[in-house]
C-alpha cells in the first residue's frame, strides 16, 4: 500500500505538463495543469510556508447531473456557437493544520468556492508519501531495531508497510494513526510471504512519531526459498512452453479514442480516472439500429468501495479490515499495465494522473488498456435441419471491447474489466491475483496444529489467513433517461390444484416495482428473480417496459455479525443489491472518510431513510464477493480467480440487436507473415 521512494521518483520523473490535446469534456479526469492550479490556489489561501497542508485527495468535482445532461442535449443539436460547458471544478480533501477540509475549487476562475471543515468520524484517504514516511520512521526507533536484531534479522533486508487501524468501538478519537508491519526480503522480492510477526509499531501520521510499540512474541520468519516469482530467479523444471499465439487486427482496431470518449461498434462512452475509485465509465449509450439513434444506458459507473476483512483474530491481526478505495485509493494504487502480458497485442494504452501529497500531478503510465477481445466465443447461432431445401447454418462470432485497469493494493492485484458487448450488455469482471496476506507461525505441518489458527497452512511457517473480498459497484443506470424504477420479477411456484391439467405446478412471474429503498434490498441466493432497472415511461411496441437486467455471477454475502465493528463500517455489503434515489453526494459506499470510520455514513445508513425510488432517477449498487479459504496453489502467488456480473438489455430493444450483424470474412493465413 505504499510504494518505495524509488518508484516514487520514477513516477515523478515522467511528469510532464501536457496541454489538453482535445476539447475537454466536463467529465474528463483532472489534467496535470489542473492539479498544479489546485495546488497554487490552495497555497494562496493557506500559504504552505506557514500552514501544515497535505492533499489527501484531489479529484474532479463532477458537474451537477441535470445541467450536464441539458448541456449534452443542447450539443446534440450542433448549435453555433456551442453553449459553454459546466464549469470545471476540483473536489479536494486536505488536512490543513490537523483539520480535515473539504474544498471545492472553481478552475475557471481559480477560486476556492467552498471550504468546509469536516468534524465527523473518520479520516481521509492515506497518501503514499505519509505511508512511506511512516514505514521509514520505524527504522529510527530503537526498540524496533532491537526487536529486529533479537530475531537475528538484517535490518537492511526489512521493509515495512502501513496498515489502517479500523475502529472497534472506541469513543475517543485517536487521530490519524497507522500500524506498521514489517516483512523480510533477504533474497526474495516476495515480502508478503515473509512477515516478521508480532511486532506492531503504531505511528501518528501527522505528528510523524511512534505512539505505541509492541513486540509480542517471537515467531519464525518463513524462509525465502520458493517464494520468489521473478522469472529471472526460477530454476528448472519449468512449466510447459506453449507455441506462440497472438491476436492480429490487420486494419487496426475498430474503436476510436478521442480524449476521454471511446466509440466502438454500437457503444459510445466516456472513460475517466479517479484516485479513489479508479476507472469511471460515464454516459454509456448504445446505438439502436432500428431507431437509428443512440440510447442511454448508464450515466456513471465505477467501483465504489471494497471491503476486505480478515478472519484472523490473533492480536496482531484482528484489526485487519480494509477498505481499499476509501483508505488507500483504488485508483491511486493502479499500476502500469505490461504490454503483451497484462493486455493482448492489439491493445491501446492510456495514462492517467493522480496527485501526490503536495498536490503535484503524478502520471500513471499505461493505467488503462483498451482492446477488442477475440476469445472465440459465439455471439449467436442456429443450425436448422428442418428446411426441405437444405441445412441452414448461421453463426456470428463474438468480439467485444474491454477496458482494463489493475489496482495493486499492497499484496493483492485486482484486475478490473469493463467489457462492452455488441448485444448491448456490459459485463464487469474482477480477477484476483497477487499475494496473500500470510501469518508467520511456528507450525511446519498441519498435524502439529491443535488450536484455531484462522487459516490454512500453505508452506512451512506460513498460514494463509481466511478473509473476504467484497466489491461494491456504483451503477447509475439511466435506461432511456433518468426516470427509472427497480423491478423484481420474482419467479414463484404455483401449485395447480384443479384436475384440469396433468401438471401440478409451474412457475410464474410476479413483478414487484420497488417503491422505497427497503423494497429494493436483495440478498442473492435465496429467491429466484430477474432484477431489472426499467423505464416505466418507455415501452416497446409490444408494451413491455424497456429495461436492463442485472445478472449476477457467483454470489457471496457477509458472514460477520451485524454488530461486529468492521461489519458496521462495511454495512454496504449487507445486501448484494441496493437501489437509492440519485444523490450526487452518495457515491462512496463506505462514506467519504473511511479510515477509522464508524459506519455512520455508509450506503446502509443512507438507505435507512427508506426514500422513494419509483419512477425517479435511481442508482443501482451491486456487491459481489469472494470468501477466501487459501489453498497451497495460492502460494507463493495466487493464480487469478475471477467473478463478475452482467448488465443485459431486457426489452430494451424491439428484438435481437445483433441479428443483422454480418458474419466476418476473416481468413488471414499465417504463412504470409514474417516476424
Does position 347 bind its own copies by CB under 8 A?
Answer: yes
Does position 653 bind its own copies by CB under 8 A?
Answer: yes
By beta-carbon proximity to its own copies, the closer residue of 249 and 515 is: 249
Judge whether 616 and 484 are in contact, CB under 8 Å. yes
Catalytic residue among 183, 299, 310, 412: 412
Residue 403 backbone dihedrals phi, psi, to 5 degrees: -115, 120
Cα–Cα distance, 368 to 196 (Å, whole number) = 35
**Binding positions for its own copies, 613-632, rule CB under 8 A:** 627, 629, 631-632
**Binding positions for its own copies, 541-600, rule CB under 8 A:** 541-544, 549, 551-557, 559-561, 563-567
In terms of DSSP H, where are the helices of 304-461?
none
Chain centroid, CA 557 distance in Å: 18
How near is the Cβ of 510 to its own copies at its closest, in Å?
Answer: 11
By beta-carbon proximity to its own copies, the closer residue of 4 and 108 is: 4
315 Cβ contact list (under 8 Å, min separation 6): 198, 216
Judge whether 533 and 548 are in contact, CB under 8 Å. yes
Does position 497 bind its own copies by CB under 8 A?
Answer: no
How near is the Cβ of 280 to its own copies at its closest, in Å?
Answer: 22
Among 59, 329, 424, 599, which residue sits at the site for its own copies (rule: CB under 8 A)?
424
Does position 237 bind its own copies by CB under 8 A?
Answer: yes
Listing DSSP states for 627-650 in one string gives EE---GGGSSSEEEEEEEEEEEEE
Does position 251 bind its own copies by CB under 8 A?
Answer: yes
By beta-carbon proximity to its own copies, the closer residue of 100 and 162 is: 162
By beta-carbon proximity to its own copies, the closer residue of 11 and 105 is: 11
Q: Which residues of 286-305 are buried (b: 16+ CB within 10 A; e: fewer)?
A: bbbeeeeebbbbbbbbbbbb
Cα–Cα distance, 428 to 418 (Å, whole number) = 5
Does position 654 bind its own copies by CB under 8 A?
Answer: yes
Does position 450 bind its own copies by CB under 8 A?
Answer: no
Does position 187 bind its own copies by CB under 8 A?
Answer: no
Give the Cβ contact number of residue 675 at 10 Å. Answer: 3
Residue 433 backbone dihedrals phi, psi, to 5 degrees: -145, -160
Chain centroid, CA 230 distance in Å: 26
Among 114, 202, 374, 513, which residue sits at the site for its own copies (rule: CB under 8 A)?
374
By beta-carbon proximity to its own copies, the closer residue of 259 and 557 is: 557
Cα–Cα distance, 398 to 425 (Å, whole number) = 12
Among 116, 509, 609, 610, which residue sits at the site for its own copies (rule: CB under 8 A)?
509
How near is the Cβ of 618 to its own copies at its closest, in Å?
Answer: 20
Does position 498 bind its own copies by CB under 8 A?
Answer: no
324 is a catalytic site residue = yes
Among 150, 377, 442, 583, which residue sits at the site for its own copies (rule: CB under 8 A)?
377
Does position 6 bind its own copies by CB under 8 A?
Answer: yes
**Binding positions for its own copies, 51-90, rule CB under 8 A:** none
Cα–Cα distance, 52 to 33 (Å, whole number) = 23
Catalytic residue among 28, 288, 316, 324: 324
By beta-carbon proximity to its own copies, the closer residue of 76 and 232 is: 232
Cα–Cα distance, 434 to 190 (Å, whole number) = 10
By beta-carbon proximity to its own copies, the closer residue of 23 and 248 is: 248
Cα–Cα distance, 464 to 656 (Å, whole number) = 47
Cα–Cα distance, 387 to 394 (Å, whole number) = 13
Does position 312 bind its own copies by CB under 8 A?
Answer: yes
What's the distance, Cα to Cα, between the start and end of the chain in Å?
A: 40
Does position 426 bind its own copies by CB under 8 A?
Answer: no
390 Cβ contact list (under 8 Å, min separation 6): none
How near is the Cβ of 66 to its own copies at its closest, in Å?
Answer: 30
Among 29, 422, 472, 580, which residue sits at the site for its own copies (rule: CB under 8 A)?
422
Nearest to 308 by CA among 594, 581, 526, 88: 594
**Binding positions for its own copies, 129-158, rule CB under 8 A:** none
Burial class for 125, CB neighbours closer than 10 Å (0-12, 13-18, 19+): buried
Does position 451 bind its own copies by CB under 8 A?
Answer: no
Among 25, 357, 373, 569, which residue sits at the site for its own copies (rule: CB under 8 A)?
373
By beta-carbon proximity to its own copies, the closer residue of 7 and 113 is: 7
Give me the half-sphere count of Cα atoms (radius 13 Å) on the Cβ side of residue 652: 30
Does position 329 bind its own copies by CB under 8 A?
Answer: no
Judged by CB under 8 A, which stretch of 137-145, 459-467, 590-598, 612-620 contacts its own copies?
459-467
Residues annotated as catalytic are: 324, 412
Amino acid at each position: 500500500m505504499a510504494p518505495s521512494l524509488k518508484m516514487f521518483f520514477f513516477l515523478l520523473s515522467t511528469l510532464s505538463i501536457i496541454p489538453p490535446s482535445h476539447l475537454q469534456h466536463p467529465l474528463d479526469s483532472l489534467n496535470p495543469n489542473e492539479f498544479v492550479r489546485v495546488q497554487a490556489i490552495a497555497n494562496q489561501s493557506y500559504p504552505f510556508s506557514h500552514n501544515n497542508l497535505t492533499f489527501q485527495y484531489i479529484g474532479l468535482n463532477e458537474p451537477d447531473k441535470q445541467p450536464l445532461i441539458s448541456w449534452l442535449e443542447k450539443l446534440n443539436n450542433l448549435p453555433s456557437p456551442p453553449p459553454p460547458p459546466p464549469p470545471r471544478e476540483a473536489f479536494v480533501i486536505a488536512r490543513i493544520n490537523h483539520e480535515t477540509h473539504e474544498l471545492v475549487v472553481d478552475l475557471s476562475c481559480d477560486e476556492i468556492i467552498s471550504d468546509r471543515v469536516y468534524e465527523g468520524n473518520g479520516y481521509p484517504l492515506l497518501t503514499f508519501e505519509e505511508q512511506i514516511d511512516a514505514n521509514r520512521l520505524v527504522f529510527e526507533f530503537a526498540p524496533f531495531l532491537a526487536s529486529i536484531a533479537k530475531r537475528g534479522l538484517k535490518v537492511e533486508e526489512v521493509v515495512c508497510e502501513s496498515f489502517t487501524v479500523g475502529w472497534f468501538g472506541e469513543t475517543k478519537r485517536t487521530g490519524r494513526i497507522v500500524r506498521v508491519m514489517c516483512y523480510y526480503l533477504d533474497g526474495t522480492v516476495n515480502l508478503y510471504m515473509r512477515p516478521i510477526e508480532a511486532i506492531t509499531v503504531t505511528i501518528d501520521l501527522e505528528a510523524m512519531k511512534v505512539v505505541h510499540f509492541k513486540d509480542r512474541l517471537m515467531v519464525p520468519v518463513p524462509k525465502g526459498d520458493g517464494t520468489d516469482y521473478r522469472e529471472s530467479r526460477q530454476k528448472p523444471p519449468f512449466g510447459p512452453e506453449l507455441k506462440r499465439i497472438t491476436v492480429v487486427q490487420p486494419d487496426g482496431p475498430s474503436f476510436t479514442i478521442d480524449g476521454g470518449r471511446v466509440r466502438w461498434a454500437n457503444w459510445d462512452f466516456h472513460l475517466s480516472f479517479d484516485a479513489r475509485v479508479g476507472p469511471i465509465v460515464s454516459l454509456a449509450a448504445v446505438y439502436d439500429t432500428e431507431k437509428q439513434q443512440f440510447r442511454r444506458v448508464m450515466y456513471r459507473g465505477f467501483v465504489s468501495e471494497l471491503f476486505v476483512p480478515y478472519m484472523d483474530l490473533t492480536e496482531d491481526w484482528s484489526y485487519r479490515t480494509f477498505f481499499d478505495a476509501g483508505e488507500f485509493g483504488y485508483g491511486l494504487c493502479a499500476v502500469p499495465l505490461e504490454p503483451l502480458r497484462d493486455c493482448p497485442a492489439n491493445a491501446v494504452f492510456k495514462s492517467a494522473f493522480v496527485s501526490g501529497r503536495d498536490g503535484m500531478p503524478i502520471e500513471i503510465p499505461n493505467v488503462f488498456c483498451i482492446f477488442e477481445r477475440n476469445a472465440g466465443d459465439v455471439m449467436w447461432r442456429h443450425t436448422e435441419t428442418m428446411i426441405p431445401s437444405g441445412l441452414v447454418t448461421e453463426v456470428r462470432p463474438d468480439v467485444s471491447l474491454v477496458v482494463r485497469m489493475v489496482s495493486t493494493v499492497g499484496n493483492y492485484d485486482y484486475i478490473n474489466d469493463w467489457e462492452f458487448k455488441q448485444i448491448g450488455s456490459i459485463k464487469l469482471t474482477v480477477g484476483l491475483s497477487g499475494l496473500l496476506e500470510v501469518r508467520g507461525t511456528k507450525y511446519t505441518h498441519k498435524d502439529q496444529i491443535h488450536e484455531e489458527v484462522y487459516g490454512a497452512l500453505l508452506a512451512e511457517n506460513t498460514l494463509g489467513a481466511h478473509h473476504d473480498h467484497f466489491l461494491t459497484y456504483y451503477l447509475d443506470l439511466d435506461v432511456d433517461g433518468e426516470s427509472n424504477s427497480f423491478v423484481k420479477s420474482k419467479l414463484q411456484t404455483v401449485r395447480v390444484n384443479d384436475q384440469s391439467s396433468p401438471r401440478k405446478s409451474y412457475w410464474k412471474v410476479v413483478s414487484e416495482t420497488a417503491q422505497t429503498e427497503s423494497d429494493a434490498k436483495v440478498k442473492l441466493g435465496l429467491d429466484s428473480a430477474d432484477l431489472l432497472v426499467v423505464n416505466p415511461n418507455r415501452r416497446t411496441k409490444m408494451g413491455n417496459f424497456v429495461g436492463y437486467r442485472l445478472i449476477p455471477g457467483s454470489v457471496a454475502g457477509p458472514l460477520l455479525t451485524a454488530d461486529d465493528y468492521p461489519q458496521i463500517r462495511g454495512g454496504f455489503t449487507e445486501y448484494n443489491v441496493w437501489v437509492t434515489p440519485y444523490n450526487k453526494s452518495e457515491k462512496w459506499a463506505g462514506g467519504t472518510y473511511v479510515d477509522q470510520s464508524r459506519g455512520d455514513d455508509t450506503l446502509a445508513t443512507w438507505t435507512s431513510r427508506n426514500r422513494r425510488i419509483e419512477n425517479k432517477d435511481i442508482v443501482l449498487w451491486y456487491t459481489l464477493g469472494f470468501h477466501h479459504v487459501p489453498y497451497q496453489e495460492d502460494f507463493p502467488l495466487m493464480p487469478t480467480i475471477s467473478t463478475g456480473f452482467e448488465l443485459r438489455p431486457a426489452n430494451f430493444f424491439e428484438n435481437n440487436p445483433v441479428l443483422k450483424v454480418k458474419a466476418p470474412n476473416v481468413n488471414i493465413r499465417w504463412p504470409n507473415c514474417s516476424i
